[in-house]
Amino acid sequence: MTTATITTAQETGFVRIAHGEDWLTVCERGVLLPGRGVAVLLPDGDQAAVFMDRSGRVYAIGNRDPFTGAYVLSRGLLGSAGGRPFVASPLLKQRFDLVTGACLDDEEVSVPVFAVRAD
């Protein structure tokens, strides 16, 4: 029997998101698993959802689902539609573009997007 080791893209380094005028270190890059989200509590009490896709690109959006008010987007499923990466809310399944924050199912709704540095 053989075993395989799954590694994430660039397991070392840190993930930082823009918060106000500063860059806030939110986690080590190795904590992120492709396709899974991590919730981050920000200094002002708000939350961000941080994701890494299978290619190793990191995204950060607000964690609050605007349709339910629950802080659950970090638990959503990643996918893509027309080449646009999105996360689908685990509650009502609305999809949010990870680059723009726009809801792909209701053009009048969006979530905040944070600039990300992953080194």
pLDDT digits (tens, 9 = 90+) for 32-68: 999 999 999 999 999 999 999 999 999 999 999 999 9
- Residue 4 pLDDT greater than 70, yes or no: no
76: confidence class by pLDDT, cuts 50, 70, 90? very high
φ, ψ for residue 52 (rounded to 5)?
-125, 130
The two three-digit tokens of residue 60, written as one number: 């950060």
Separation between Cα atoms, residue 117 and residue 69, nearest integer Å: 27
- 87 CB contacts (<8 Å, ≥6 apart)? 37, 49, 51, 61, 73, 76, 77, 78, 79, 95, 96, 98
8: confidence class by pLDDT, cuts 50, 70, 90? very low
* Rounded percentage of the chain residues whose pLDDT exceeds 90: 83
DSSP H stretches of helix in the chain: none
Tell me, what amino acid is at 112?
A: P
pTM of the model: 0.87
